Amino acid sequence: MLTLKQVHDYLLSLPGAVEERPFNPETPVYKIGKKMFACTSLDKTPPSITIKLDPLHGQMLRSTYPAVKPGYHMNKEHWNTITLDADISEALLLSWIDESYTLVQASLTKKAKMQLPDAH
C-alpha cells in the first residue's frame, strides 16, 4: 500500500506535473499543462486520491473494488476517488494514476503539449 507521501512524490515525478492548491491548503491538486489529473486530501482519514479515468474503465473498477468510488465533488462519469488504505496493489494504483495523466495530457492543446518536458 502506498502512503500519501509516496503518491505525492510519484505524481510530481511525472513530466510537467505541478502541484497547486486552488481550493484550500488541505487539497493538493496535480496538473499538467494547467489541467488537473489528480487531487488528494491531506485532512481525510483514510487518505484518498481522485483521478480521471475512461468512463467505462472507471465503472468497471467501481464494481470490482470497494475502495474505488465516484469522484468526490467531481464529474462522476470521469473522476474516481480511491481510498489508499485498501487492498489495491501499488502497481495497480500507479497504473491508474498513469492513465489519468495520459488522458489529461492527450486533451491538451498542441501548444501546451509542446511546452511539456520531453515533448520535442
Mean pLDDT along residues 27-43: 94
Which pTM value belongs to this model?
A: 0.91
Q: Which residues contact 71 (CB under 8 A, 6 or more apart)?
A: 50, 78, 79, 80, 81
- CATH code of domain 4-108: 3.90.1150.30
Q: Nearest 10 degrees: CA dihedral of 73, 87, 3, 26?
A: 20
Arithmetic mean of pLDDT, 98-119: 89
Taking residues 45-54, what's their average pLDDT?
94
**Domain map (residue ranges) of the chain:** 4-108
Residue 105's pLDDT is what? 95
Q: Give me the mean pLDDT over the 96-115 stretch.
A: 93
